[in-house]
Structure formats: C-alpha cells, structure tokens
Amino acid sequence: MPRSNLMRSFFAIASLMLANATWAQGADPFEHGWTLDGAASELQFLSVKKSSVAENSGFASLSGVIGPDGAAEIRVQMDSVDTKIDLRNVRMRFLFFETFKYPEAIITAQLPPEKLVDLHQSRHKIIDLRYSLSLHGVSKDGVAQVAITLVDNDRVAVANTTPIAIALPDFNLEEGRGKLQEAAGVDILPFGFVSFGFVFDRAQAGTPPQLITAAATPGAAALETKGDLDREACEGRMEILSRTGNIYFNSGSARLSDASIPLLTNLHDIVNRCPDLTIEIGGHTDSDGSDAANRVLSERRAQAVNAYLVDQGISPERLVTVGYGESRPVTSNDTAEGKRRNRRIEFVPVN
C-alpha cells in the first residue's frame, strides 16, 4: 500500500477511535456508575483552639459510589480519624465523635445529569450541589460549590471549592467539645471547616459499583498499633475512657443499661490489649442520699462492669473494684449537670 494511503488509513482509524471515545463520554456521564478510589481521596476538617491555633485532621477510611443515575453516597469510618497523634485520635474517637455509638458518617447527593452531560467537552465544571450529611445521629442538608473534573473517560475528581462550615451544635457535638476541652486543657471554637477531594473510577459494564459498609469490629479502622499496647498507650486510653460518661445505670440501680454496651465493647478490646496491667474499676456517685448508701451503690456498679469484662474473657485477677461513693467529685453537686458528671466509672492501672 502506498505511504499516502497508509497515512490516510491511520488517520481514519484514529478519528474513528476519537469519535467513539467522545461518544462514550458524552452519551451518559454516569454510565455504569463510579466507585470511590479511597486511597486517592481525602476528607479533612479544620478546628480552631486557643482562639487562633488551627489544626487540620482527616479520615483514612472512605468508601463511596456514584450510581448510574448520578446518586452519590460517601461513607466515612469515624474510627479512622487522623490527627497525626495517637492519643489525640483516641480522644476524638471516644470523647468527641463517640464512634462506639456512631461508627460512620454518611454523605449523600444527587449529581445533576443535565449539568454534566457535556463534561467530556468542558472537562471541568463548577456547580452548586445539594447534599445531606448524617453525622453523630443527626442529618442536615446543605449546599456546596464543587468542582467536577474529568481526568479521563474512566476517572473523575470531585472537590469543594471553598471550605464547608460545620456548626457543632447542629450535630449535638457540643458535649463532646466540652469533654475535649477538659481533657486537653484548651478552649475549642464551636465550629469547624470541612474540605474534600474525592476521586472516582468508572465501573465496568455489568458490574455495578459496590459500597463498602461500616466496619463491624470496634476500632477496626483506627489508626493505631494493632495487637498489644505499651503502658503509656494503655494509661492514656484508660484516662480517656474514664471521661466518656457513657456507662449507664438506672437511678439507684447497679444494673448496666443496654446503652452501655457499645462503650463496654470498646473497653473490653482495650483491656484485652493491655495484658500486663491490673486495672482498678472505680465507682463514683453524686451526693444525693447517705454516704454509706452511695458507697455501697458505687461498689455494686463497679462490680457490674467487672462482671461484664470477666464474662467477655478478661481474667478476674486483672480487675479490682472499688466504691468511692460521693467522696471524689469532679465538680460541684449543686446542679443537675454536676451530679450527672459525678456519677461515673473510672479506670486506673494499678501496677
């Protein structure tokens, strides 16, 4: 074949391939659906302490999909919070986000096909996107300006163009903020700013995208050393667990409420990973009632926690129970909130 004819054939084939690629991108921006590339994606939040010190943190475990209809869902494993400091991560998990009760956050949105049908030509679009955020047991709707960039026919990036302000009271996180402030000894402002950069890969024809659901094992997504913990890590975790206030009893009763189980499950995991420590379980009450009655009640409540851990396989020789009654208040008993805080179970390594 003459060279000129060969070149014409080459350009004809190339043009046909380009036309087919353009058609594939333009026919349906959500064709086959999309799956989040968690390793390439990021979700970060910025908090402010001491009025002017900004700290940026993120989450390491993300999963998500965009369906063929443009319905998007992102799931965030809250245990995977990453502040770059181990015990700060633990504080965020147990005191602020209460991940033992609320293990994941969910973001949903409906991407508008009519605004993205020509994405294969523009390659980049900025749109206002309505979304819903489910966090800490509360769902709120909002609008974010997002940039959508088609990297290639099978890869797309979605990112917010400006940080999204989150008011902590909107998600019942004010109590957690108070616990963090007390534990860290700093003031923290009652809002944060969220930013994200999500990267999706197009699913293959006939294989709809699959969403990874929440981890079933407590702390499975946490960024921490697996296996046994050293003494410093154990002591730090015991101190944090003592501040949670999430072990519940009915008034005047030593029977554990079912609402206590999520925290106790995590407590068991941590105690199990500190095998060389003997741990004191201390019961405390408010000042209502006689001192003698309060000592007995606090001892019985500590014994109830002891019994739970033993039933879960912790050796009884590693546990000591003490009832302190009303003798060691952490705050005044003059208010209902003060009394609530004084009714608590504390965990202290004693060897």
Give pLDDT tens digits for 64-99: 999 999 999 999 999 999 999 999 999 999 999 999
Sketch out the chain's domains with CATH numbers. 31-202 (2.40.128.110), 231-349 (3.30.1330.60)
Residues written for the chain: 351
Average pLDDT estimate for 170-189: 95
pLDDT of residue 5: 53
According to DSSP, the residues that pair with 160 across neighbouring strands are 146
- 285: confidence class by pLDDT, cuts 50, 70, 90: very high
Residue 159 in this model has a pLDDT that exceeds 80: yes
> Distance between CA 187 and CA 202 in Å, rounded?
44
Q: How confident is the model at residue 326 (pLDDT cuts 50, 70, 90)?
A: very high
Spatial distance between the Cα atoms of 146 and 115, rounded to a whole number of angstroms: 12
What's the mean pLDDT when you consider all of the chain?
90
pLDDT in tens, 182-232: 999 999 999 999 999 999 999 988 888 888 775 556 678 888 878 999 999
Give bridge partners of residue 92 from the DSSP assignment: none
Contacts of 141 (CB under 8 A, 6+ apart): 130, 131, 132, 133
**pLDDT of 64:** 96
pTM over 0.85? The answer is: yes
The Cα 136–Cα 93 span in angstroms is 11
Query: What do you get for the CA distance between the two ends of the chain, in Å?
Result: 89
User: Residue 1: which pLDDT band, with cuts at 50, 70 and 90?
Assistant: low
- The pLDDT score that the predictor gives to residue 307 is 97
